[in-house]
Amino acid sequence: MREKIVYELKSLYRDSFRIRGYEFGKGEDSICVIGSLRGNEVQQMYICSLLIERLKQLESQGYLTNTCKILVIPCANTYSLNLESRFWPSDGTDINRMFPGYNLGETTQRIADGLFERIKDCKYGVQLTSFYIPGHFSTHVRMMKTGFEDIEEAKHFGLSSIVVRSPRPYDTTTLNYNWQIWCCKAYSLYTKACEEIDEKTAKEAAEAILRFMYEKGIISYPVLGGYKSEIVDEDRMVSIKSSSGGFLKTLVDVDEQVFIGQTLAIIYDPYTHVELEKIISSQEGKVFFIHAKSMVYAHTSIVKIKRNI
C-alpha cells in the first residue's frame, strides 16, 4: 500500500487542504473507489476504510494482480467533515455538483478539477454516495443513462438491485456523469446509512466492491455470495409523500415487503403530539428508501416503494 496526496490546495491562514489516496498494485489505473465528497458522509468513508484494510491483507498475501492499480480515496472533503457540514463551509457549495471542475474557478471548482484530473482515466469508478433527502436505502448500485453506461458490468457487484435512470440537467456536473463521459465505467453505491455507521451494510458494500474487482481480474481472491441483480428503472419507484409536517414515526424498514393500505409511518404535531397524518401505502412492493429524520416538512418523500412487477 502506498499513501499519496491526490490533490493539495494551499491555504493562507491554516494548513493546506489535502485529499489523500491509498494505492495498491501496479500497472494501469484500473479502478478508483471514492468515499465522502460531502462532510456528513461518514458511512461512505467507513466503507473505504474497510476496503483499505482488506486490500492490505490481500496485497500481503499476493492476491493482487500485477497489471492493475487500485486507488481508494476515503474522503475528498475533510474541511466539511471537521465542521460537520454537508457542503463546503464557506459558501455552501457541493463538490459533487462541480465536475469536471475549473482550475481558475471557485474553491470547490478547483478541488473538483484537481481530483478529476487524477481519477478521470481509470477504467472503472465507484462512488460511495448519499441521497439529497436524509434517509435509509436498500443497498444498491445506481447508474445514469448517458449512452456510455454498462449495466451488464454492474451485475458483477452482486447486489440485489441495479437502478437506472435518465439524467436531469443538474446531473451533468456530478462525478458519476463526468466519469462516464470520459469513458470510465462509473457506478454509484448507496447503502442504508450516511451520517452514522451501519456495520452490516458497510460490510455488504465493501464485499460487493471486492467481488467486482475479482470478477474483473483486478484481484485474484474470490468473493463468494451475492445476488442475481434485478435491473430496476427508476420510473418503477413510487414516492409516498407527507401532507403534514411534524414528528415522524416510521413503522417499516428498508427491504420490507408492504401492501396497499398498510400504514407506513405516522406524523404527529410537534407541540401537542396529536396525530396529524397516517402515511398509507398506495402500492404493493418492497421498501427501497425511508426518510430518516425525526422531523419532516409537508410534501416530503417519506417512503419510496419498488413496485412489484
In this model, does residue 309 exceed pLDDT 80?
no
What is the per-residue pLDDT for 160?
Answer: 94
Predicted confidence band of residue 15 (pLDDT cuts 50, 70, 90): confident
Which of 8-12, 27-31, 114-118, 278-282 is predicted with the least confidence, judged by mean pLDDT?
A: 8-12
What is the per-residue pLDDT for 133?
Answer: 85
What is the per-residue pLDDT for 308?
Answer: 87
Question: Alpha carbon of 56 to those of 182, 208, 286: distances in Å?
Answer: 29, 17, 37
Question: How many CB atoms are located within 10 Å of the residue 183 CB?
Answer: 11
Dump pLDDT digits (tens) for 59-117.
999 999 889 999 999 999 999 999 889 999 989 999 999 999 999 999 999 999 999 99
What is the per-residue pLDDT for 10?
Answer: 87
What is the per-residue pLDDT for 66?
Answer: 86
What is the per-residue pLDDT for 11?
Answer: 79
Cα(249)–Cα(246) distance, rounded to whole angstroms? 10
Dump pLDDT digits (tens) for 267-291.
999 999 999 999 999 999 999 999 9
Cα(5)–Cα(159) distance, rounded to whole angstroms? 32
Dump pLDDT digits (tens) for 121-149.
999 999 999 998 889 999 999 999 999 99
What is the per-residue pLDDT for 247?
Answer: 98
What is the per-residue pLDDT for 122?
Answer: 96
In this model, does residue 200 exceed pLDDT 80?
yes
Residues 247 and 198: beta-carbon distance below 8 Å: no
Instruction: For residues 31-56, give the mean pLDDT.
Output: 97
What is the per-residue pLDDT for 266?
Answer: 98
Name the DSSP letter for residue 83. Answer: T
In this model, does residue 199 exceed pLDDT 80?
yes
In this model, does residue 12 exceed pLDDT 80?
no
What is the per-residue pLDDT for 102?
Answer: 96
Count Cβ atoms within 10 A of the Cβ of residue 309 and give its class: 0-12 exposed, 13-18 middle, 19 or more buried.
exposed
- Structural element, H or E, at residue 161: strand 161-165
Which domains does the chain show, CATH number per domain?
A: 2-228 (3.40.630.10), 235-307 (2.40.50.100)
What is the per-residue pLDDT for 286?
Answer: 95
